[in-house]
Structure 1
């Protein structure tokens, strides 16, 4: 009996970047179609050009709605927004029309997800400078998604192989990040992480918190953050019924989680978790945005203008991004966090 395949929407990203290339390369792989029904939201003329550049054996099927797709290997089903002027388009450059178009692809995909016409969204790279050139009032995916989905402060989770990583702080200096490592914030984030894992269908969730200082501070010998704030935050979460552990020294906790000791790790600052994930497998590190009313996965790399449209870009991240969306979609619940 064939496994039921869900529809995964793929906004094609910035047309001048590698998004269209990695999209068509991914959709030339049989394993993608075994897992899901991929649907591209983009510009059909750019998709056709990407097929020519990458020399993959695909034809384009332009459709008006998700229900009209063929979803079979050898065909790329595309909802064509017709928003790129090829005469004014150029590869690998910041262009307002590409920024505006990428914004429109995302908004369209979100509307499909909110209307339950697709099971999840797997996003390709967009470019901040192109968005700015188009006067789009958002700097990136996360800001758009939290606005469109009505979900303030979404929670980012990285997954690579069996390793899942959440982030207590994001794009702030290390000094500012340390000031945000309060008991209250640790407790709150552990609760949010636990609920996020539950939405993804993970039972009996076991969470670890990475330490900040060498050896998690050795009881205060190398810093008091673990003693004063991080440890008490973990204990408060445990009293809330969350199976939380730590702080576990950062030089070992990610390895332990990768090997199954924990279901996820709460990283205390941006680079701590990013380094662990990307050293595990740079190309297979996928981002999941939790807290939205729909499932969204994303590649964790940029538009790569320097290699765009040269048939150089690897599609491994995009393939993993689509497959992860397909894996989680049947388990995902849309209950609000």
Structure 2
């Protein structure tokens, strides 16, 4: 495998009214030895002003914002934080978040970066700015010209892909088709292979309670999932399903599977986030988060934090950078795997 000894990652700032700028400056402080040692090169895409504000708020030195530092490039979009208020949605913040993603995609497509790592955006702010997308996954598919994309959440051995994400439940049912299910399994299997998993065991979660209980609670698991899984198995995929949703994640955690295909957003997100969030019992605030969001099916590698903008704690200096550090490491691994296939 031809692994880049110094991978190049484009890191987008996310919504400047959220915790994105804060976790970026904290993460770079943690990564400083690796960056100075030549193990990693970062292009930070966003507003220098907003990042400086975050660095001052958490009292972290950020020389890379003031001058050129080996291993770090600041791609400044020129906006200031003057009209952006922490914890508030706005068109200004949404526009800046969108432009950062657009610029990072250009870097990757033009061989200026090996992967994109994104901080969280506010879907409401992005739409206020006039960009009609329901989330990062859909936005990136549009910018890269991908015909489809799949959201994969990773928390340790918990790997969960999604047939649908940001749609109403009624629409999620309609999106369970043989074509979509097959595509999600194919992309998930390829991602597991990139992660070095040889015997890739995939479970498809049932859409309905008890996998429909023989048709009593819905027929989709009988008419769509079962024959599609049988077809995929004939093609050589190590896949099972439909497996009832109330037990499939227990089996995943027990390592009976390497990944689960969730039928819709909450079915897949709840177990991953329940395990990934660490909550302070005294204050009730989350203090750390483990987990990474990966977009499959793109011509580029994209990983992200597995949390939102956290408007409730933005500007308070208490956001944890753990998920961003994990996203960076996973981005490096997936970019190396993709480079090895070329």
Regarding TM over 0.5, the answer is: yes
Q: How many residues align?
A: 326
- Give the counterpart of 2:135 among 125, 131, 140: 140
Change over 3 Å in CA distance of 1:62–1:204 after alignment to 2: farther
Q: Equivalent residue for 1:304? A: 310
Q: Secondary structure of the equivalent of 2:159?
A: strand
Residue in 2 that maps onto 1:112? 107
* Cα distance in 1, alignment partners of residues 126 and 147 from structure 2: 21
Deviation string 1:275-313 (CA, Å, 9 cap, x unpaired) is: 121122132121100111111011232222332112122
2:236 pairs with 1:237:
no
Contiguous gaps of at least 5 residues in structure 1: none
Deviation at 1:149, TM superposition (A): 0.8
- 8 Å Cα contact 1:99-1:127 kept in structure 2: yes
Aligned with residue 279 of structure 1, among 274, 282, 287: 274
Contact 1:297–1:325 under 8 Å retained in 2: yes
Runs of 4+ in 1 over 6 A off after TM superposition: none
**Contact 2:195/2:333 (8 A) holds in 1:** no
Distance 1:290 1:20 in 2: 25
Deviation at 1:246, TM superposition (A): 2.1
Q: What's the CA shift for 1:321?
A: 1.7
Alignment equivalent of 2:186, drawn from 183, 186, 191? 191
Contact 1:41 1:109 in 2 (8 A): yes
In the aligned structure 1, how far is the partner of 2:341 from the partner of 2:106? 18
Q: Secondary structure at the match of 1:330?
A: helix
Contact 2:194 2:334 in 1 (8 A): no
Does residue 54 of the first structure (1) align with residue 58 of the second (2)?
yes
Q: What is residue 24 of structure 1 aligned with on the other side?
A: 25
For 2:338, which of 315, 332, 337 is the aligned residue? 332
Q: Write the deviation string for residues 251-285 of structure 1: whole angstroms up to 9, x where unpaired.
A: 33223223432221111121111112112213212
Say yes or no: does 1:269 pair with 2:275.
no
- Post-superposition offset of 1:92: 2.7
* TM-score calculated relative to the size of structure 1: 0.85
Secondary structure class of the residue paired with 2:52: helix
Give the conservation status (yes or no) of the 8 Å contact 1:162–1:259.
no
3-state secondary structure, aligned to 1:60: helix
Distance in 2, matches of 1:266 and 1:334, equals 26
Q: How far, CA to CA, are the matches of 1:143 and 1:182 in structure 2?
A: 19
Of 70, 73, 83, which residue of structure 1 is paired with 2:79?
A: 83
Return the TM-score normalized by structure 2.
0.84
Q: Equivalences for 1:142-291 in 2 at 5 Å? A: 142-198=137-193, 202-220=197-215, 223-282=218-277, 283-291=289-297
Structure-1 separation of matches of 2:257 and 2:8: 31
1-structure distance, mates of 2:194, 2:112: 19
Change over 3 Å in CA distance of 1:318–1:261 after alignment to 2: same
